Structure 1
Amino acid sequence: MSKGVCTFAASALAMAVSFGAATAQGYPEKPIQVIVPFAAGGQGDVKARLVIQRIQELGLLAQPMVVVNVPGGAATIGMRQGRDADPDGHTLLYIHQTMMTSELTGVLDFSYADLVPVAETNYSCLLTATAEGSGIADAEDWIAQARANPGGIKEATLVGSSAHFTTEMFASAADMKVGYVNAGGGADRIASILGNHTKTAVLVATPVVQNPKLSGLVYYGAERHPELPDTPTAKELGYDVTSCLDNVW
């Protein structure tokens, strides 16, 4: 069983225990809002909805859980709404390491330590992807082009996010310079590379596995992704870079 599946199962159990105890005291009294600080269709949105679907299938709650997409401000608008919500258990913020990177870049004026985590819902490593028509054949070609044209090979990113930090770590290790277009969350980055407005984007593996027009260049897990066996890891290419997301609420 993969770590992602184990994490998902453990999360469902944790939710059953925590919410089960609360339900005995009349909780929840109304629908639970799950703030996703990204646009609909991105990895955070999809993962949140999958977890909610499973919670509903198991009948863990007497009230529904409802996703509220609050994109904008490099995810900081939704994160602030989550922080400022009444601490009554009826609002959850669904987030990952982007909260930390936003704090590091100064666009967020509070810390993950100001919030109380309920459960880790899934664990997934990132990859650099490209699309048909980008003119990039593979990882070595991407690196060569970026070195030959510093800043000219554009990447769709969310400035200040984990995706942005991932590319910066790899670019530093590979002695290359990438140009950035602040496209937004995962769904917007996918649209950008599919439209050939940018050459690359950092994503989770799922959309690359599912869309034949997308391909992986570099995977940032410890080993190759089982469904993307032709995508090398950064370490295989000689660069000691790993980058994975822990989604929590």
Structure 2
Amino acid sequence: MHFLKATGLVAILALGPLSASAQEAEWTPRRNIEFIVPYSAGGGSDLNARALSEAIRKNRLIPRNMMILNRPGGSGAVGNSYVASRTAEPHTLMTFNSGQMMSMLTNNAQVRLDNITPLGTLALDTLVFVVRADSPYESFADLAEAARAAPQTLTVGGSGRGGEDNLVFALANQPAEGALQYVPFEGGGDALAAVLGGHVTVGIFNPSEISAQIEGGSVKGLGIFSEQRLEGAFAEVPTFVEQGHPDAVFEMFRGYAGPPDLPPEAIAYWNGVLSQVSQSDEWKEDIERNSLIPAYMDAEESAAFWKREEARYLELLTDLGFIQ
């Protein structure tokens, strides 16, 4: 982020018009930032938003406060619609991830990728199958065998319908011969409460959502949807690949978006902020603590990457029967 001192500004004006890059650096927030999380508190998107806001605050990267507002509902559609309605408003941001994009596709939502402005991507994430510590199931093979013996009696809780949790459920349900039943929740916090309360058999979570419970011993992991095992709290959780299911792999992006038609100078400003966050000690510690994969992409790179991912998800979701 660049600030122009008054004396420097006078000098630049005396020399002539500002360059395009200098003009793009002019905008700064004039009021507090609405930071929309389209899911309930306690889930992966919520935790990600709070980590980003804390890194911005500690490093004094913006002159205003980040006000986190949870707007759950419709598998992300409520939050997406709100941000899309704030046309050209650079003081409104939201978390945006693979699950929101997939939900847009599977639910034929009015708000699509073209109705928001990509601002950046900071990490890749994955998902893990967990059960309560006192569950009789010690492996995914145990769970799948029990499900096949009593179809639709074992339940799997996840965030939303048609998003990343629902997708990896479908990947895991294939070797279970379709015998598991999916139960959607408004966010990871609600799904976690259901698992711990014994209301569902299994929960699907991002590592950041469940690491404390794994470390504390209240839950155990049956399988993780990454190519390789994660480190730290998840070192003992086997991948689905090593359990004989090579197609059960999924990595999701974690990014940030704004309303449509944002002015270029605002996009440039948030580019600078997110770039500095990616290099901060606070963010690097959060990446390590939550078993994320660092993957910084600016607004232009994110727009291209998200478009490619949209095409990939459309094909995958159609193959799995989510889209007819």
TM-score (norm 1): 0.86
Q: Cα deviations across residues 24-54 of structure 1 (Å, max 9, x unaligned)?
A: 5241111111110011111110111101110
Deviation at 1:89, TM superposition (A): 1.1
Q: 1:171 aligns with which of 167, 170, 173?
A: 173
Same amino acid, percent of matched pairs: 24
Find out whether 1:244 has 2:246 as its counterpart: no
Distance of 1:53 and 1:23 partners within structure 2: 25
Letter in 2 for 1:178: L
Match of 2:308 in 1: none
Match of 1:59 in 2: 60
Distance of 2:173 and 2:22 partners within structure 1: 48
Aligned ranges for residues 12-23 of structure 1 at < 5 Å? 16=1
After superposing the two structures, state which structure 1 stretch, 127-136 or 218-227, moved more: 127-136
Aligned partners of 1:99 and 1:111 also within 8 Å: no
Aligned partners of 2:154 and 2:181 also within 8 Å: yes
Q: 2:222 aligns with which of 217, 226, 230?
A: 217
Find out whether 1:46 has 2:47 as its counterpart: yes
Compute the RMSD of aligned alpha carbons.
2.0
Deviation at 1:22, TM superposition (A): 8.0
State the secondary structure of the residue aligned to 1:217.
strand
Distance of 2:244 and 2:76 partners within structure 1: 32
Q: Cα deviations across residues 192-243 of structure 1 (Å, max 9, x unaligned)?
A: 0000100111101134321120111110111011121221111111112211
Query: How many residues are paired up?
Result: 232
Distance of 2:23 and 2:150 partners within structure 1: 57
State the secondary structure of the residue aligned to 1:75.
helix
Deviation at 1:133, TM superposition (A): 3.3
Aligned partners of 2:35 and 2:68 also within 8 Å: yes
Distance of 2:244 and 2:143 partners within structure 1: 15
In the superposition, relative to structure 1, how do residues 112 and 136 fare at CA in structure 2: closer, same or farther (>3 Å)?
same
State the secondary structure of the residue aligned to 2:119.
coil
Letter in 2 for 1:242: V
Q: Cα deviations across residues 73-100 of structure 1 (Å, max 9, x unaligned)?
A: 2221111111111322110121211222
Q: 2:185 aligns with which of 183, 186, 209?
A: 183
Distance of 1:85 and 1:156 partners within structure 2: 32
* Structure 2 unmatched runs, 5+: 3-20, 257-324
Letter in 1 for 2:223: V
Deviation at 1:170, TM superposition (A): 2.0
Distance of 1:102 and 1:21 partners within structure 2: 38
Aligned partners of 1:143 and 1:176 also within 8 Å: no
Q: Where do 4+ consecutive residues of structure 1 move more than 6 Å? A: 20-23
Match of 1:232 in 2: 238
Q: Cα deviations across residues 127-164 of structure 1 (Å, max 9, x unaligned)?
A: 11111333322211111112212221111122222101
State the secondary structure of the residue aligned to 2:122.
strand
Aligned ranges for residues 122-161 of structure 1 at < 5 Å? 122-157=123-158, 158-161=160-163
Distance of 2:254 and 2:27 partners within structure 1: 28
Q: Indicate the structure with greater helix content.
A: 2
In the superposition, relative to structure 1, how do residues 224 and 22 fare at CA in structure 2: closer, same or farther (>3 Å)?
farther
In the superposition, relative to structure 1, how do residues 207 and 97 fare at CA in structure 2: closer, same or farther (>3 Å)?
closer
Distance of 1:37 and 1:173 partners within structure 2: 32
Distance of 1:26 and 1:88 partners within structure 2: 12
Match of 2:164 in 1: 162
Match of 1:197 in 2: 199
Distance of 2:50 and 2:225 partners within structure 1: 25
State the secondary structure of the residue aligned to 1:120.
strand
Aligned partners of 2:129 and 2:221 also within 8 Å: yes
Letter in 2 for 1:180: Y
Aligned partners of 1:34 and 1:67 also within 8 Å: yes
Letter in 2 for 1:224: R
Mark the structure with the bigger radius of gyration. 2
Deviation at 1:122, TM superposition (A): 2.5
Distance of 1:75 and 1:179 partners within structure 2: 21
Distance of 1:102 and 1:95 partners within structure 2: 11
